[in-house]
């Protein structure tokens, strides 16, 4: 395996999201299983009105709810008990007998809380068509573009994304791990006319990678697609760029709504910011670890 970068890059941020679309849980270290960071997207809400897995694209309020595991997830635990908090509301636990009512009151919409279900239960994961059947409008609103033709190219993503809200058996949009570099955040901040880098919370990565200041590429992780990343004994394969939708425009914590940021990603970064990856060799990573990029070996893995 041949290295393709000599510059030292490091992990400076590490997060998981115990409930899909809720706020990140910062971690000093994390174990990466073949299915992603242990405990990541372990649960999801189901919008009972729309009969679909809920996300912050349609319910931005989710971005400011926090979820934590009272006991850290162990090996093989897909959906351990979780506790959810919202500003000004009583906490709700997945073990509460009235958990669905409590969450519905917290969010202001009928919802239910679901663990991961087997991939064979495809009805749970299926993407619902818009009520009026207008897929063109759906795409325009999903990506906040003027016409459906302006939407990102999704051909590099798994084909399941066309039929399912998340990949069956998981609550991941496409792949089990998402990375972004601080260089990309700085570039987007400049291009969007801000005095500071784009807020990493809007992009919801698992890993934030520090790239040395003299690196030439404004979006360096896009050069990693098809290559492998080594972090200690952990080995990742970068699978695709991450297309961006209206979700990065929503207010999050103390950051206000910012449609201009999304338009900047669409026009200056070919709709993409960050990359997806899969785990080739599991193990533990922590903040401060060095990351190196390598050519992938030929043939199947």
Domain ranges of the chain: 9-294
Please give the pLDDT value at position 129. Answer: 86
Please give the pLDDT value at position 296. Answer: 81
Please give the pLDDT value at position 130. Answer: 85
Pairing mode, strands 83-85 and 66-68: antiparallel
Please give the pLDDT value at position 1. Answer: 41
Residue entry with tokens 């070919």: 270
Please give the pLDDT value at position 297. Answer: 80
Please give the pLDDT value at position 115. Answer: 98
Please give the pLDDT value at position 5. Answer: 47
Copy the structure tokens of residue 105: 């009151």
The rounded distance, in Å, linking the Cα atoms of 138 and 81 is 34
Q: What angle do CA 182, 184, 188 make, to 5 degrees?
A: 120
Q: Which fold, 9-294? A: M1 Pyruvate Kinase; Domain 3 (2.40.33)
The rounded distance, in Å, linking the Cα atoms of 188 and 176 is 24
CB 67 within 8 A of CB 43: yes
Check residue 8 and report its DSSP letter. Answer: -
H or E stretch at 99:
helix 99-107
Copy the structure tokens of residue 285: 């990573």
Please give the pLDDT value at position 216. Answer: 77
Please give the pLDDT value at position 7. Answer: 61
Give 152-218 as a DSSP string. PP-TTS-GGGGTBSS-TTS--SSSSEEEEEHHHHHHHHHHTT-SSPPPGGGT--SEEEE--TT---S
- Whether the pTM exceeds 0.85: the reply is yes
Instruction: Encode 248-276: b = buried (16+ Cβ within 10 Å), e = exposed.
Output: bbbebeeeeebeebbebbbebbebbbbbb
Q: Which of 68, 47, 43 is nearest to 57 (CA)?
A: 47
H or E stretch at 127:
none
CB 168 within 8 A of CB 2: no
Q: Write the CA distances from 215 to 183, 241, 258, integer angstroms.
A: 9, 19, 28
CB 95 within 8 A of CB 81: yes
pLDDT tens digit at each of 301 positions of the chain: 444 444 689 999 999 999 999 999 999 999 999 999 999 999 999 999 999 999 999 899 999 999 999 999 999 899 999 999 999 889 999 999 999 999 999 999 999 999 999 999 999 999 998 888 888 999 999 999 999 889 999 999 999 999 999 999 999 999 999 999 999 999 999 999 988 999 999 999 999 999 987 767 899 999 999 999 999 999 999 999 999 999 999 999 888 899 999 999 999 999 999 999 999 999 999 999 999 999 988 655 5
The rounded distance, in Å, linking the Cα atoms of 181 and 12 is 9
């Amino acid at each position: 395996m041949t290295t393709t970068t000599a510059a030292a890059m490091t992990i400076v941020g590490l997060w998981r999201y115990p409930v899909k679309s809720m706020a990140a849980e910062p971690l000093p270290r994390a174990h990466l299983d073949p299915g992603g960071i242990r405990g990541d997207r372990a649960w999801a809400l189901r919008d009972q009105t729309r009969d679909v897995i809920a996300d912050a694209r349609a319910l931005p309020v989710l971005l400011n709810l926090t979820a934590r595991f009272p006991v850290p997830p162990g090996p093989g635990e897909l959906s351990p008990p979780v506790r959810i908090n919202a500003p000004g509301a009583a906490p709700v636990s997945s073990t509460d007998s009235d958990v669905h009512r409590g969450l519905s009151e917290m969010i202001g919409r009928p919802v239910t809380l679901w663990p991961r279900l087997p991939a064979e239960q495809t009805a749970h994961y299926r993407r619902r068509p818009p009520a009026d059947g207008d897929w063109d409008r759906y795409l325009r609103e999903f990506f906040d573009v003027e016409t459906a033709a302006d939407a990102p190219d999704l051909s590099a993503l798994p084909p399941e994304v066309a039929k399912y809200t998340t990949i069956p058996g998981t609550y991941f949009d496409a792949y089990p791990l998402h990375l972004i570099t601080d260089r990309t955040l700085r570039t987007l901040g400049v291009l969007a006319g801000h005095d500071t880098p784009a807020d990493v919370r809007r992009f919801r990565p698992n890993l934030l990678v520090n790239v040395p200041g003299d690196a030439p590429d404004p979006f360096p992780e896009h050069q990693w697609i098809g290559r492998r990343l080594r972090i200690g004994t952990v080995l990742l394969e970068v699978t695709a760029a991450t297309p961006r939708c209206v979700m990065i425009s929503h207010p999050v914590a103390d950051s206000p709504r910012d449609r201009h940021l999304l338009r900047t990603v669409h026009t200056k970064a070919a709709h993409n910011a960050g990359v997806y990856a899969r785990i080739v060799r599991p193990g533990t990573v922590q903040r401060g670890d060095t990351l190196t990029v390598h050519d992938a070996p030929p043939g199947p893995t």
